């Protein structure tokens, strides 16, 4: 028996080489449950259109239910000769219902509108999974911030000491980026809640089927595709998903890079939990931050999935082209990688030990309070240009003498500028510098507490 859905006009079967090239069943089999759900909804609109009797609909639905069970427990699987998941499942249905009834289901639909619909369903489900895992990571970051509400650290720009910030402020900056990623997933989901089923191969159906009913049946809140050509040919929803997952990977990679640095002997800001680090096969002392490194590596892979996909889509004429079969593996991979990475990464973040004393000790190093000297002068009416110069000179003297800013003598201050009386020392301490930055978004403990509340409220809404 010919399993092909298109054998009629061919005198010869496909060459082995074509069969191998054409097959997608080895990667699109994961869409089988969605294909069966689509088939059930399709059977109902065929019945509504008078193309299946009530009796036939009941048998068809029972057949699809049986097929679904057989797929779930592995009794039925697709083979390379099936070409793709749609063909395999039609074979499965024919085997269960016989050709007369089983052969009726394909009326008014095409693999083109099927795949476009199933792919949306699959990605929407995984957007939810990834969103949940992302929330776990955000919670781990919130936990870190909450556990260290008063720990100062050296804030950096250009990786150089810049100004002291609260450790919680720094960690919550990463949480903000992740909550935008989660928001992007939710907004993408709303845009993707449109069903192409009923678009047929490209032109719609002459059978009086109801695409809106199928859309409602399959949980597409925003109805069916407004244009059947666009419905079958557009893949911007895939590209956007690939972007969001790549961006998420990049945001995680940025955290990863810091964890790798912080975990070095030189930084000694954090220690990773044994359960979330690895050893070396030759150097017995080694404890490596492999999860963070894999996160950094995987982000490159996620970016590759996005760029590869965009290259596939570029310059495709309307409507469906077989090139589109190349759209699935990249984003399936993005889902798989992120779903594997996130739990490990979250575990690493949730269990790392923060070395408060080390962070606090380095917070004022590198003359990171020089801005505070300048701003202290500004508050006394000195123009900022002058204040900047004066504070810069303080740094120069300190560098020459090998001392810190608060170690300058009254005489040295006075020699640099008459404005610098000894009371400048008021601002030459980290808690003062932090507390002074109490505007919205700032690093003062009070401002960071507000930020923490906002991130938690955002998490509660997700």
Rounded Cα gap, residues 203 and 42, in angstroms: 17
Rounded Cα gap, residues 354 and 150, in angstroms: 12
Q: Is 280 considered catalytic here?
A: yes
232 is an interface residue for ligand ARG by CB under 6 A: no
Rg of the Cα trace of the chain? Answer: 31
44 is an interface residue for ligand ARG by CB under 6 A: no
Helix (H, G, I), strand (E, B) or coil at 78: coil
Tell me the closest approach of the beta carbon of residue 322 to ligand ARG, in angstroms: 6
Smaller CB distance to ligand ARG: residue 28 or 90? 28
Tell me the closest approach of the beta carbon of residue 44 to ligand ARG, in angstroms: 23
Smaller CB distance to ligand ARG: residue 110 or 263? 110
Tell me the closest approach of the beta carbon of residue 81 to ligand ARG, in angstroms: 14
The Cα-based distances of 84 to 27, 31, 153 in angstroms read: 9, 10, 55
The Cα-based distances of 154 to 45, 419, 443, 457 in angstroms read: 64, 28, 12, 28
Question: Which is the catalytic residue, given 158, 253, 334, 388?
Answer: 158
Residues β-bridged to residue 153 = 165
Q: Are 205 and 108 in contact (CB under 8 A)?
A: yes
Tell me the closest approach of the beta carbon of residue 111 to ligand ARG, in angstroms: 3
Rounded Cα gap, residues 218 and 425, in angstroms: 68
Positions in 87-126 near ligand ARG (CB under 6 A): 111-112, 115
Positions in 7-26 near ligand ARG (CB under 6 A): 24
Tell me the closest approach of the beta carbon of residue 164 to ligand ARG, in angstroms: 54
Smaller CB distance to ligand ARG: residue 171 or 324? 324
Tell me the closest approach of the beta carbon of residue 200 to ligand ARG, in angstroms: 11
32 is an interface residue for ligand ARG by CB under 6 A: no
Positions in 288-327 near ligand ARG (CB under 6 A): 320, 322, 324-325
27 is an interface residue for ligand ARG by CB under 6 A: no
Q: Among all residues, whose Cβ is closest to ligand ARG?
A: 111
DSSP state of 317: P
Smaller CB distance to ligand ARG: residue 115 or 242? 115
Helix (H, G, I), strand (E, B) or coil at 200: coil
Tell me the closest approach of the beta carbon of residue 83 to ligand ARG, in angstroms: 7
Query: How many other β-carbons are positioned within 10 Å of the β-carbon of residue 113?
Result: 30
Q: Are 416 and 390 in contact (CB under 8 A)?
A: yes
Rounded Cα gap, residues 169 and 449, in angstroms: 9
Smaller CB distance to ligand ARG: residue 7 or 453? 7
State the greatest distance between any 2 C-alpha atoms of the chain, in Å, as a whole number: 102
Smaller CB distance to ligand ARG: residue 288 or 325? 325
Question: Which is the catalytic residue, given 15, 280, 423, 446?
Answer: 280
The count of residues interacting with ligand ARG (CB under 6 A) is 10
Rounded Cα gap, residues 434 and 378, in angstroms: 18
Smaller CB distance to ligand ARG: residue 112 or 138? 112
Tell me the closest approach of the beta carbon of residue 355 to ligand ARG, in angstroms: 51
Tell me the closest approach of the beta carbon of residue 49 to ligand ARG, in angstroms: 23
Smaller CB distance to ligand ARG: residue 78 or 131? 78
Q: Is 174 considered catalytic here?
A: no
Output the six-digit token pair for 322.
């077989």
Q: What share of the chain is helix, strand, coil (3-state, %, to 5)?
A: 65, 5, 30
Q: Are 105 and 67 in contact (CB under 8 A)?
A: no
Element (H, E) at 418: none
Smaller CB distance to ligand ARG: residue 322 or 400? 322
Rounded Cα gap, residues 347 and 351, in angstroms: 6
The Cα-based distances of 15 to 3, 4, 8, 20, 85 in angstroms read: 15, 13, 16, 9, 20
Rounded Cα gap, residues 333 and 108, in angstroms: 32
Task: Count Cα neighbours of 39 within 13 Å in the Cβ-side half-sphere.
Answer: 30
Rounded Cα gap, residues 117 and 408, in angstroms: 70
84 is an interface residue for ligand ARG by CB under 6 A: yes
Instruction: Put residue 256 in one of left, alpha, beta given phi > 0 → left and psi -120 to 50 → alpha.
Output: alpha
Rounded Cα gap, residues 344 and 346, in angstroms: 5
**Active site residues per annotation:** 158, 280
For ligand ARG, the binding residues (CB under 6 A) are 24, 28, 84, 111-112, 115, 320, 322, 324-325
């Amino acid at each position: 028996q010919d399993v092909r859905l298109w054998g009629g006009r061919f005198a010869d079967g496909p060459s082995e080489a074509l069969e191998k090239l054409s097959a997608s069943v080895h990667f699109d089999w994961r869409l089988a449950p969605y294909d069966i759900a689509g088939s059930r909804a399709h059977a109902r609109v065929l019945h509504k259109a008078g193309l299946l009797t009530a009796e036939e609909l009941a048998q068809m639905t029972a057949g699809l239910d049986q097929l679904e069970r057989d797929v779930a427990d592995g009794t039925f699987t697709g083979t390379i000769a099936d070409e793709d998941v749609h063909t395999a499942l039609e074979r499965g249905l024919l085997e269960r219902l016989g050709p007369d009834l089983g052969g009726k289901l394909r009326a008014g639909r095409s693999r083109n509108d099927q795949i476009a619909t199933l792919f949306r369903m699959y990605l929407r489900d995984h957007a939810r999974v990834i969103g949940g895992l992302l929330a776990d990571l955000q919670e781990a970051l919130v936990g870190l911030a909450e556990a260290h509400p008063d720990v100062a650290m050296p804030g950096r720009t250009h990786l150089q000491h810049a100004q002291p910030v609260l450790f919680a402020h720094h960690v919550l900056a990463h949480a903000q980026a992740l909550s935008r990623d989660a928001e992007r997933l939710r907004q993408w989901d709303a845009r993707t809640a449109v069903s192409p089923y009923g678009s047929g191969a490209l032109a719609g159906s002459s059978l009086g089927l109801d695409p809106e009913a199928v859309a409602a049946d399959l949980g597409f809140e925003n109805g069916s595709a407004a244009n059947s050509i666009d419905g079958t040919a557009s893949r911007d929803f895939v590209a956007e998903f690939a972007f969001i997952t790549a961006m998420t990977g990049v945001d995680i990679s940025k955290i990863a890079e810091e964890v790798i640095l912080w975990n070095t002997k030189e930084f000694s800001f954090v220690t990773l939990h044994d359960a979330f680090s690895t050893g070396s096969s030759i150097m017995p002392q080694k404890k490596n931050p492999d999860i963070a490194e894999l996160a950094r590596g995987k982000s490159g892979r996620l970016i590759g999935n996005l760029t590869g996909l965009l290259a596939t889509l570029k310059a495709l004429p309307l409507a469906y082209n077989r090139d589109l079969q190349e759209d699935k593996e990249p984003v399936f991979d993005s889902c798989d990688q992120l779903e594997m990475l996130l739990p490990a990464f979250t575990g690493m973040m949730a269990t790392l030990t923060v070395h408060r004393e080390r962070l606090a000790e380095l917070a004022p190093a590198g003359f990171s309070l020089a801005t505070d000297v300048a701003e202290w002068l500004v508050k006394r009416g000195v123009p900022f240009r002058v204040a900047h110069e004066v504070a810069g000179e303080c740094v120069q003297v300190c560098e020459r003498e090998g001392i810190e800013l608060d170690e300058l003598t009254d005489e040295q201050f006075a020699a640099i500028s008459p404005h610098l009386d000894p009371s400048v020392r008021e601002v030459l301490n980290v808690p003062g510098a932090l507390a002074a930055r109490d505007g919205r978004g700032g690093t003062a403990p009070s401002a960071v507490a507000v930020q923490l509340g906002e991130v938690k409220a955002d998490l509660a809404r997700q």
